[in-house]
A and B are shown apart, each in its own frame.
Chain A
């Protein structure tokens, strides 16, 4: 690694309708450097890469290449490639039915008298593969190669096209440990050749195994650039989640007060419940009147876990018990009948029924529970709707207003009302406060505590640790689709939670 800068992005800004995806982001890449780009989902990693490779046009800021004093403008991926910037994505964008050699040279085949020079193609392909130690024959169809080899071929193609900046976007997510090692070997080799590599991954271990620098993004903004040695893992997690680690230690919590009577009978028990590729088998035991939090980085499997409890995704192994009786939820309706309720993470896609009125959105779950032949009277519906509009302080022009005309926070309150109306024993709230103003957030937190006090069991998921510490008496920690810890009482501190999310030493041994 040298100090020679090959890529400099300054003040990058990208706006989508209604969202600022990137705001004043700086990024610097040096020759022979492996630079991790970190951040939670939605932090802006992909957008930054797409701006760099010309898929998106930027709305502000400048990109400098090498020593050129003038900024470059990149209009298309082709232009990016011409300037020495290549990206290899998780889903490989090569042609699986062609051979390795054809894939290496497609679109730039060496020609002889106007015809493709096949001899040259195979000779040069073999030379490239050999120089990069990629163990594959140039005549093999790409689809017969493993994903790792396919990825390496994509990298080889980029390198042969004189790429100086190589972007690897989640390259390891579908590789096994051995393949990851091979990929790392290749990356190290490229690094020695002076290629600058931008490495996007959500595996913390891999960052510490191979990277030199880390740039952290959060909510489209730059958090900072750090040398790997200078940023302990737990601090990295803290930066990604938006917590200043030093401050965290000072926060006191009164979690002990919230711990429940342990002699009570469990409301729901899961034994080895799991779903292939979504959530590794887990055990869980929850009690009435208790708020249990599920935490972990986005995409760590916390939503999948609660969905498997509710029957939204059918688990394919394990057992679920409610009040000591084994139950099976084939559909959400079965779960609703047993007294479960689920406020989904994606309000727009899974929550609201946008053209229907506030009234209809409130009563629909109870109506579905009652069945096709027991319609509610108009008066009954209106009373229910009015009752929850009043109780939850829903701001709406009238109960007949289509729910899509309400603000996000008020839509969320309608969905909460919908489930409270079914009088559930166990209420699952998946990100109930996302994208909602502070006032409503506090209201929802208060409501959660009040409901628990009245004896309802509650599952609470939030990306904001503060919020969870305020409401939860116990927290389940998830990492990489696995339940990795359960914290209660005195262990329920922000530091502990982050440590568990980061995986500490234990995870190192596993990799």
Chain B
């Protein structure tokens, strides 16, 4: 993962340290480490992973499992941010839409069902497609009508849960069928929670897309300089639109997992506040919220940092009510450390040290 800066291929130890420190993932990884390792002091058994009733069990597994939806959302959010320099704040509500469509199809419109009314795959695809449609709506407003992303996605942020309620007729639709529960829990005989596997597959698919298409380059180019991108023949409008559709589809997938976890579509609570966590994950991953260059790896690390923090705080017996306060404190610290001002200061201190050393040696080097 770590790649040396081309400017410092010299083999001296200092340069290796410096190039690691300058890597764009250094700060995100450091943040994640600090969050997780803080458990060594307060709760050393945090890192114990055991087998219970044939499934993996432990706090780390919990972080990976509970963080799955966030990872999936963060990937979509990363693309949207990079291409349009703005965020999609409707993803939480769009998750609820996906869950509502999926569950109400499975229950055949009833408030609760013990028998599937249609194949799960069909309902899941329908839910995800509905979310893709929401993404397309956002994308249309942002790319074609040039509305600020925050404003454009505010519409579905507010209306999304209402739309979800339309599908569920205002109730929590329960699907009490074991085959539906496996997507948010465990597949019998497999010890790894299904959401972890789904998120891994999603990441792999996105990696393949980046590898086999030029989407990554196009998105960055449009995000950095939309004018120049148009003049080299890129369709900036379409590229932005596509990122919003992808973001919607991924939110739909996350909504499906969430629904399966609680085998119901709770339109008021599924994905609640998750859009903010997703945006934060992107930022914690070292990505600029103003768009341009992006790193999926960073956002994924950011997502696990947030989930790790939540799980850690729960492990410390912090009550759910107070959780946001502690979370906020840690987030402020991480964000400030990554801020340009602090980074500049750090760099200045480094440069000073370097120049002192150069002076001592009496040599002149780049």
Contact = CB atoms under 8 A, between A and B. Distances in A.
Q: Do A and B come from one complex?
A: yes
Interface of A: 312, 331-333, 336-337, 342, 344, 349-356, 360, 364-365, 367-369, 371-375, 397-398, 400-401, 418
A355 B293 contact: yes
B214 A367 contact: yes
A332 B212 CA distance: 25
A350 B231 contact: yes
B230 A331 contact: yes
Given A333-B235, A398-B6, A400-B6, A353 B213 contact: no
B230 A352 contact: no
B233 interface: yes
Contacts of B227: 349-350
Interface in B106-161: none
Given A375-B212, A375-B213, A397-B6, A364 B231 contact: no
Contacts of B211: 375
A364 B221 contact: yes
Nearest to B291: A355
B231 A332 contact: yes
A418 B232 CA distance: 9
Contacts of A368: 218, 232-234
B217 interface: yes
Given A367-B217, A372-B214, A372-B218, A333 B228 contact: no
Contacts of A333: 233-235
A183 B227 CA distance: 39
B213 A373 contact: yes
Interface in B7-35: 7
B61 to A, nearest CB: 36
A96 B282 CA distance: 46
Nearest to A343: B231
A353 B231 contact: no
Nearest to A360: B217
A390 B214 CA distance: 25
Contact of A365 (B212, B225, B232, B235): B232
B335 interface: no
A400 B228 CA distance: 19
A353 B224 contact: yes
B215 interface: yes
A356 B220 contact: yes
A336 B220 contact: no
A400 B217 CA distance: 14
A101 B165 CA distance: 59
Contacts of A400: 6
Interface of B: 6-7, 211-215, 217-218, 220-221, 224-225, 227-235, 292-293
A369 B232 CA distance: 8
Nearest to A335: B233
Contact of A375 (B6, B214, B230): B214
Contact of B228 (A353, A372, A375): A353
B343 to A, nearest CB: 16
A351 B228 CA distance: 5
21 contacts: A312-B231, A331-B235, A333-B234, A333-B235, A336-B233, A344-B231, A349-B225, A351-B228, A352-B225, A353-B221, A354-B225, A355-B224, A356-B217, A364-B232, A365-B232, A367-B214, A368-B232, A369-B233, A372-B214, A373-B214, A375-B212
Contacts of A372: 213-215, 218
B212 to A, nearest CB: 7
A353 B233 contact: no
Contacts of B292: 355
**Most chain A CB within a 10 A radius of its CB, from B7, B214, B221, B235:** B214
A338 to B, nearest CB: 11
A333 B237 CA distance: 13
Contact of B229 (A337, A353, A369): A353
Nearest to B236: A331
B214 to A, nearest CB: 5
A349 B215 CA distance: 22
A384 to B, nearest CB: 14
A211 to B, nearest CB: 39
A400 B229 CA distance: 19
A371 B233 CA distance: 10
Contacts of B217: 356, 360, 364, 367, 375
A355 B214 contact: no
A418 B292 CA distance: 20
Contacts of A312: 230-231
Given A356-B224, A368-B218, A375-B213, 10 more contacts: A331-B235, A332-B232, A351-B228, A354-B225, A356-B217, A364-B234, A365-B233, A373-B214, A375-B212, A400-B6
**Most chain B CB within a 10 A radius of its CB, from A332, A336, A342, A397:** A332
A367 B239 CA distance: 14
Nearest to B221: A353
Nearest to A336: B233
A368 B220 CA distance: 13
Contacts of B7: 397-398
3 closest cross-chain pairs (CB), A and B: A368-B233, A333-B233, A365-B232
Given A336-B233, A397-B7, A353 B214 contact: no
A467 B86 CA distance: 44
Nearest to B7: A397
Contacts of B228: 344, 349-353
Contacts of B233: 331-333, 336-337, 365, 368-369
A354 B214 contact: no
A379 B232 CA distance: 22
Contacts of A331: 230, 233, 235
A452 B230 CA distance: 26
A369 B224 CA distance: 19
A399 to B, nearest CB: 9
Contact of B231 (A342, A371, A375, A397): A342
A369 B234 CA distance: 8
A73 B292 CA distance: 45
Contacts of A352: 225, 228
A13 to B, nearest CB: 31
**Most chain A CB within a 10 A radius of its CB, from B212, B217, B225, B232:** B232
Contacts of B212: 373, 375
Contacts of B220: 353, 355-356
Contacts of B235: 331, 333
A354 B224 contact: yes
